[in-house]
Structure 1
Amino acid sequence: MKNVRLLVVSYLFPPAGGIGVQRVLSWARYLPAQGFDVSVLAAKNPSVPTLDPALVAAVPPEVEVVRTWSLEAPYKLRQRLWNRLGGKKSPEAAKAQPARDSWVKGMVRRVLSPDPEVAWTPGAKRAAERIVLGKGIDAVVVSAPPFSAFLVGNWLKRRFPHVRYVADFRDEWLDFYLNAFEYGRHPAIRRRAAAIEAETVHLADLSLSITQSCVERIRSRYPDLPGSRFACLPNGYDPAAFEGFRARSRPDGRIRVAHAGTVYPHSTPRYYFDGLESLPEQERGRFETHFIGRVTEEERSVFAGRDLRIVERGFLPQAEAIRELEEADVLLLTMTD
């Protein structure tokens, strides 16, 4: 039996770092041994806050990775420009120029819709077409966010109806993702997102998501489609990343709590901090909490002025982050949604 020729379309791929690359990286790493000839199409210059070049070594040599340019500003510049347009401002500034901010930001959202990464899709479509034709691709998997990547998959399905199309929702889009991030909280973005999701789900031969509740939420919006068109594929974990994992003792005698991942408003440690601060001083002093990953600007105020032992390690490459976990007594996961 011949191998399945698979094209994975993902804006995010190593050397980009963080949680957004792990799912697709694992597919590229393990699917070749399961009878797949894997090609990956990714952004050459993704606008991302973190890089982890060591992850590139996990991509098997037989996996072809094609990278195309995105017409975006680098991440830090993009954030500064957005903030100057009013993405981040004091209440006083918001009152002083609400009309200007609303008009300018609204125009940006109408042009870069459903997300800024849509600037990658024109070049990605051309590259995807070349890969499908050149390699005789049997199936395409598009993984999102950014959800504009589905525009590439939808275009390919119309261009090559015989190619199987799988849409992978790493986050539930309309109810969670749009509300979780400031850029998506705009009527124009929501209308565009709803239209793209409907087109995607109807064109895809299979729509995946990471939890059963996400699958059910997406499926509930499309009662005309059979349940066989939806499936749950959990994230799991990569055993190879934890080979040799062992607990490491420390001489300080404290209880070390470790949080790995970006701190967003929907994963705020506010209530964890409040709980610690409610303890008697002697008990509270035994805890030391390490944050491994970025803390978003929206959550900076949550950390300020706390009478707690807090250590911010910032973003670390995966191997270093895992070593930090080895030295922890307790791992912390916070979600408020």
Structure 2
Amino acid sequence: MHKKVLIITYYWPPAGGPGVQRWLKFVKYLPEFGFDPIVYIPENPTYPIIDEALAAEVSRDVKIIRRKIFEPYGLAAWLTGKGTKRISSGIIPSNHKQTPLEKLSLWIRGNLFIPDARRFWVRPSVRFLRKYIQEENIHTVITTGPPHSLHLIGLRLKATLDIRWIADFRDPWTSIGYHKSLKLTPFSEDLHKSLEEKVLNAADQIIVTSQSTKQEFRDITTKPIAVITNGYDVALGKSDVLDARFSLAHIGSLLSERNPTVLWQVLAELVRELPGFADDLELKLIGTVSNDVLLDIHRYDLDPHVNHMGYVPHHEAVKHQKQSQVLLLIEINSVETKSIIPGKLFEYMVSGRPIVAIGPTGSDFAPIVAQTHTGVFVDYSEKAKLKETIVDFYQRYKSGNLSVEALGIDQYSRKNLTASLAELLR
């Protein structure tokens, strides 16, 4: 007999972007391991990215419960205009480029909506779910964040019901990259940390996506912490048709703080120095790109080589991953972000295309790239290594033998990762 598991998540189709993929896939495979997932989501959410195609991946057999949510983004948008939409999408301009209204919006977001703007869904959700859990005889509840306010639903349910509560952190809480941009007062900073500590010490089991986050949480709690990374659920195999030009593709959001100036410098130098490179180069930007990044690209005279495609549905992104000559994986150059393993890494690894990964020293994804033989990692100080890598890939492209053969990637398939989750649920 299958066991019921209640999953509380904010991001669900038709939401697009990486936040929806993790639990969409867990829910897909959990029935194969003896569990019936019940998914609790908002009825009227404010999603910054929409991907209608993902709805086709939701099984008709999965029970989904929707309840209305109040989000203050309507008022914020009226106050700050387009800035709110940019910020809710993760595009936070650098401090000196923020308008007064954007600064106000960030201050409000950080200090009045703690831990985030979805906090108003906590009380009505707890009121509804208390009764529902008892009526349906549910013994296991999973909350996933961000938004981390959803963990407060688990916290309150755990306090009043005899349930097993698992808190899944797709990203860290107080150490996440954008946290320092929220203009927090000392009181607000302390409140965030206090809520984080309460959640980590009340949950029966914690799941994180990287070893660094596990170590960070180890300093806060003695509760069991499991690492289950993100993964891939796309068909293995290479594309029969590759881009004719030497395409370097970045798929996903390029935030202001994720702006790889060292890459633009290297590409500009190669355009000037390497015969044929200027004619062959194509820089494919697929997803939301901040103005800071576009201005930097312009500053290095790379505009003629840019193909800015904007957001595309996930299945189209997968197609570009397999057809592009080189895939770019870029993370913010910060100690706080070394624990982030971008979800797209795993889909990159099964594409058969080489990866150029750029991140802070000690990044958790660096050994994954090395161990799977899927590309080269460089930190932001290794300009010479970055240049050598791109030259090597370009020369292999010209000779027609640019590809990689990934090793040991089965462990990152969504089905195998769900098997690890199922072990925790037993």
Q: Which range, TM-score by smaller chain?
A: 0.7 to 0.9
Q: AA paired with 2:141?
A: V
- SS of residue matched to 1:332: strand
Is the aligned partner of 1:236 residue 2:231?
yes
Q: AA paired with 2:269?
A: S
254, 270, 285: which is aligned to 1:279?
270
Q: AA paired with 2:313?
A: P
In the TM superposition, what are the counterparts of 1:197-216 in structure 2 within 5 Å?
A: 197-216=196-215
* TM-score, structure 2 as length reference: 0.68
Which residue number corresponds to residue 127 of structure 1?
128
Preserved CA contact (<8 Å) 1:184 1:190:
no
- SS of residue matched to 2:299: coil
Distance in 2, Cα, partners of 1:192 & 1:131: 30
Task: After TM superposition, give the deviation of residue 157 of structure 1 in Å.
Answer: 0.6
Distance in 2, Cα, partners of 1:56 & 1:219: 37
Q: 1:108 to 1:61 in 2, by over 3 A?
A: closer
Which residue number corresponds to residue 424 of structure 2?
none
- SS of residue matched to 1:207: strand
Distance in 1, Cα, partners of 2:308 & 2:261: 15
Preserved CA contact (<8 Å) 2:5 2:38:
yes
Task: After TM superposition, give the deviation of residue 38 of structure 1 in Å.
Answer: 0.6
Distance in 2, Cα, partners of 1:36 & 1:166: 15
Preserved CA contact (<8 Å) 2:94 2:257:
no
Q: AA paired with 1:236?
A: G
Which residue number corresponds to residue 248 of structure 1?
241
Preserved CA contact (<8 Å) 1:290 1:311:
yes
Which residue number corresponds to residue 17 of structure 1?
16
Distance in 2, Cα, partners of 1:15 & 1:153: 24
Per-residue deviation, residues 148-169 of structure 1 (Å, max 9, x unmatched): 1111110111121x21111111
Percentage of identical aligned residues: 26
Distance in 2, Cα, partners of 1:138 & 1:178: 35
Task: After TM superposition, give the deviation of residue 93 of structure 1 in Å.
Answer: 8.8
Q: 1:79 to 1:53 in 2, by over 3 A?
A: farther
Distance in 2, Cα, partners of 1:206 & 1:325: 35
Task: After TM superposition, give the deviation of residue 189 of structure 1 in Å.
Answer: 3.8
- SS of residue matched to 1:24: helix
Q: 1:89 to 1:38 in 2, by over 3 A?
A: closer
Distance in 1, Cα, partners of 2:148 & 2:236: 33
Distance in 2, Cα, partners of 1:149 & 1:265: 27
Q: 1:46 to 1:207 in 2, by over 3 A?
A: same
Is the aligned partner of 1:306 residue 2:300?
yes
Per-residue deviation, residues 129-187 of structure 1 (Å, max 9, x unmatched): 24312321121111100111111110111121x2111111111222234536x336553
Distance in 2, Cα, partners of 1:173 & 1:44: 25
* TM-score, structure 1 as length reference: 0.84
Aligned residues: 321
- SS of residue matched to 1:231: strand
Name structure 1 gaps, 5 residues minimum: none
Name structure 2 gaps, 5 residues minimum: 335-426
Is the aligned partner of 1:45 residue 2:44?
yes
Which residue number corresponds to residue 163 of structure 1?
163
- SS of residue matched to 2:330: coil
Which residue number corresponds to residue 332 of structure 1?
328
Q: 1:110 to 1:155 in 2, by over 3 A?
A: same
Does 184-193 or 306-315 show the bigger shift? 184-193
Q: AA paired with 1:316?
A: V
CA RMSD, Structure 1 to Structure 2 (Å): 3.0
